[in-house]
């Protein structure tokens, strides 16, 4: 059996993996998207099944108004004392000198929940993890944020002991255990113990193309006692621009029941426009940061190494003791008739849960009540799912009767509240029309020259988007048979982590496709969606775009 990377396609970044018996569990970041923290399970590392998210109550997580790219950063999942422990960071500021982050701990006896109300720990830095030592002591390990001018903001890795009886940290035990290498931007720490050594795995270089994972070790947990692994980084793709996988690092080490070792990390798969030079532009990652798994061995000096070298491999041998997963779909295609009273695990909502304020689902209809614009970070009626393939079609039926241009509803390709496009119904001069628009960091461009005026009395139709690696379009149909493409081709690079990173600090999530309703009049005009289809065509980038 082969592990084909990435094993989790689309926006599944910063993986933390823990094994309980013969089952592996992975937790990944969700940032401003609700519900908080994605969980997956596997028994063979090649196929993964989604599990209910642990943070599903506003009492556990309040993200209303958080900036794009804020919210849940790099959760850590562990298992000890007969229960699961989940550490997560809630970040309230993305750009600027401050982060205003808070680290929380929630626990559960069963991976499916219920998960406890969170225990507030500290705000020293983000990307915290929990280390359970062999003597029963527990430590919070975290990046350290230094806001002072003249100081590098990434101030090494801080260790603080946790009292499990009170679920509180002991501040007097706080100490920096490693400064990091000259690559800097030291974050995402995970601590392990093996053969009398403490091994510290940390991401460095930032999460773009300079990203890497570094390893340090020490015989103790004393202050500044860790020394870095000599030679090349443990994993990273800075020096391998032609590798299929890029940006690897920021993950977790784990073993198998028979003693094999693996490492899960974020990765990305860029594409380039045909006009862009192979060395001048590393590429555009529209699927965001995904999850890869590499096999690990230990060298004669006791250091961990990735099989095949720091660049990693696309295909990796699965564990010899793997138990094959059954019933896992070959791709992430989705069909939703909205017959259930709750949204399925494919769907996300920005910052807040799906409630009756946003809409309802069931009996074959998803009803969204118009709220703020797609640039709103507080009150937005949007349900969306990750892009998980480079080529796909997505379509939905919509029944919407706008009375003013302030009322809009339709199908959107969306990165965040700064960057999105959509095809939407609205009202112009008393007639229902279909328009396309692009919002690019505050600049709204509406393609009125391609306006489609619907026949009088018609307010139901089908909308479709066709994504083809480097570009995408919108189409409509009045009968679900004859489709008419709106002749506006959008550049998919605008929905990539890399395009966002050129302008903004929260560039972590990749693109989404979804359904939205807006009513700037404040009357909550309803838009009714009868079905949604997401059909994957190719998980690989189109050759003419690379």
Report which of 107, 86, 190 is spatially closest to residue 142, judged by C-alpha positions: 190
Query: How many other β-carbons are positioned within 10 Å of the β-carbon of residue 130?
Result: 24
Report the distance separating Cα 221 and Cα 177, nearest Å.
Answer: 7
Cβ count within 10 A of residue 342: 9
**∠ CA 319-243-507, rounded to 5°:** 95
DSSP 384-398: EEE--SSEEEEEEEE
Which residue is listed with tokens 């443990």? 234
Return contacts of 293-298, CB within 8 angstroms, 24+ apart: 293/3, 293/5, 293/7, 293/45, 293/262, 293/263, 293/264, 294/5, 294/235, 294/248, 294/262, 294/263, 294/265, 295/260, 295/261, 295/262, 295/263, 296/253, 296/261, 296/262, 296/263, 297/261, 298/261
Pairing of strands 175-178, 419-428: unpaired
Residues contacting residue 362 through CB under 8 Å, at least 6 positions apart: 338, 339, 340, 341
Neighbours of 41 (CB within 10 A): 17
Map 270-312 to HEC letters: CECCCCCCCCCCCCECCCCCEEEEEEEEECCCCCEEECCCCCC
Residue showing tokens 């900036």: 67
Q: Alpha-carbon distance 212 to 234, whole Å? A: 7
Size (the chain), residues: 546
Active-site residue identified among 122, 187, 391, 536: 187
Cβ(357)–Cβ(369) below 8 Å: yes
- 333, 368, 370, 374: which is closest to 350 by C-alpha? 374
Cβ atoms of 112 and 105 closer than 8 Å:
no
Burial class (CB in 10 A: 0-12, 13-18, 19+), 322: buried
Is 90 marked active-site? no
Provide the token pair at 278.
Answer: 């192979």
Strand, helix or coil for residue 163: strand
Dihedrals phi, psi of 500, to nearest 5 degrees: -65, -40
Active site residue 174: no
- Using CA atoms, how far apart are residues 393 and 473, in angstroms rounded to an integer? 10
* Tokens 């490492």 belong to residue: 263
> Cβ(145)–Cβ(99) under 8 Å?
yes
Q: Which of 116, 101, 169, 174 lies closest to 138, judged by CA? A: 169
Residue 500: its H or E element: helix 497-501
- Catalytic positions, please? 14, 187
């Amino acid at each position: 059996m082969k592990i084909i990377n990435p094993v989790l396609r689309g926006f599944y970044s910063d993986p933390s993996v823990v094994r309980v018996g013969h089952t592996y569990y992975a937790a990944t970041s969700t940032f401003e998207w609700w519900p908080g923290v994605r969980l997956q399970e596997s028994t063979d590392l090649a196929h993964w099944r989604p599990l209910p998210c642990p943070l599903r109550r506003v009492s556990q997580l309040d993200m209303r108004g958080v900036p794009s790219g804020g919210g849940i950063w790099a959760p850590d999942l562990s298992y000890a004392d007969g229960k699961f422990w989940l550490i997560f960071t809630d970040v309230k500021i993305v750009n600027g000198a401050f982060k205003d982050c808070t680290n929380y701990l929630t626990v559960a006896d069963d991976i499916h929940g219920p998960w406890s109300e969170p225990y507030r720990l500290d705000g020293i830095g983000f990307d915290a993890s929990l280390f359970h030592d062999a003597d029963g002591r527990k430590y919070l390990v975290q990046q350290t944020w230094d806001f002072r001018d003249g100081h590098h903001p990434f101030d090494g890795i801080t260790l603080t002991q946790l009292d499990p009886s009170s679920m509180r940290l002991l501040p007097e035990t706080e100490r920096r255990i490693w400064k990091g290498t000259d690559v800097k931007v030291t974050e995402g720490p995970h601590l392990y113990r093996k053969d009398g050594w403490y091994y510290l795995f940390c991401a460095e270089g930032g999460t773009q193309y300079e990203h890497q994972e570094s390893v340090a070790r020490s015989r103790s947990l004393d202050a500044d006692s860790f020394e870095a692994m000599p030679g090349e980084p443990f994993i990273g793709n800075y020096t391998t621009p032609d590798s299929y996988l890029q940006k690897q690092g920021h993950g977790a080490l784990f073993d198998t029941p028979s003693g094999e070792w693996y490492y899960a990390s974020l990765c990305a798969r860029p594409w380039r426009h045909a006009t862009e030079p192979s060395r001048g532009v590393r590429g555009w990652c529209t699927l965001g940061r995904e999850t890869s798994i590499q096999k690990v061995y230990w060298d004669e000096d006791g250091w961990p190494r990735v099989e095949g070298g720091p660049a990693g491999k696309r295909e990796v041998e699965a564990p010899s003791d793997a138990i094959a997963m059954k019933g896992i779909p070959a791709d992430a295609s989705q069909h939703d008739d909205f017959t259930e009273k709750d949204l399925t695990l494919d769907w996300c909502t920005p910052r807040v849960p799906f409630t009756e304020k946003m809409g309802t689902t069931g009996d074959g209809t998803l009803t969204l009540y118009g709220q703020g614009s797609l640039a709103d970070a507080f009150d937005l009626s949007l349900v969306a799912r990750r892009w998980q393939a480079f080529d796909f079609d997505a379509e939905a039926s919509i029944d919407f009767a706008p009375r003013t241009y302030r009322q809009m509803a339709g199908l959107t390709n969306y990165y965040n509240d700064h960057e999105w496009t959509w095809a939407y119904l609205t009202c112009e001069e008393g007639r229902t029309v279909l328009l396309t628009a692009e919002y690019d960091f505050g600049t709204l461009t509406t393609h009125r020259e391609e306006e489609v005026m619907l026949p009088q009395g018609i307010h139901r139709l089908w909308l479709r988007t066709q994504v083809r690696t480097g570009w995408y379009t919108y189409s409509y149909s009045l009968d679900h048979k004859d489709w008419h493409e709106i002749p506006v081709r959008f550049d998919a690079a605008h929905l990539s982590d890399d395009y966002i990173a050129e302008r903004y600090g929260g560039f972590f999530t990749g693109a989404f496709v979804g359904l939205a309703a807006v009513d700037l009049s404040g009357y909550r005009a309803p838009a009714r969606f009868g079905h949604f289809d997401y059909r994957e065509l190719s998980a690989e980038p189109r050759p003419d775009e690379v």
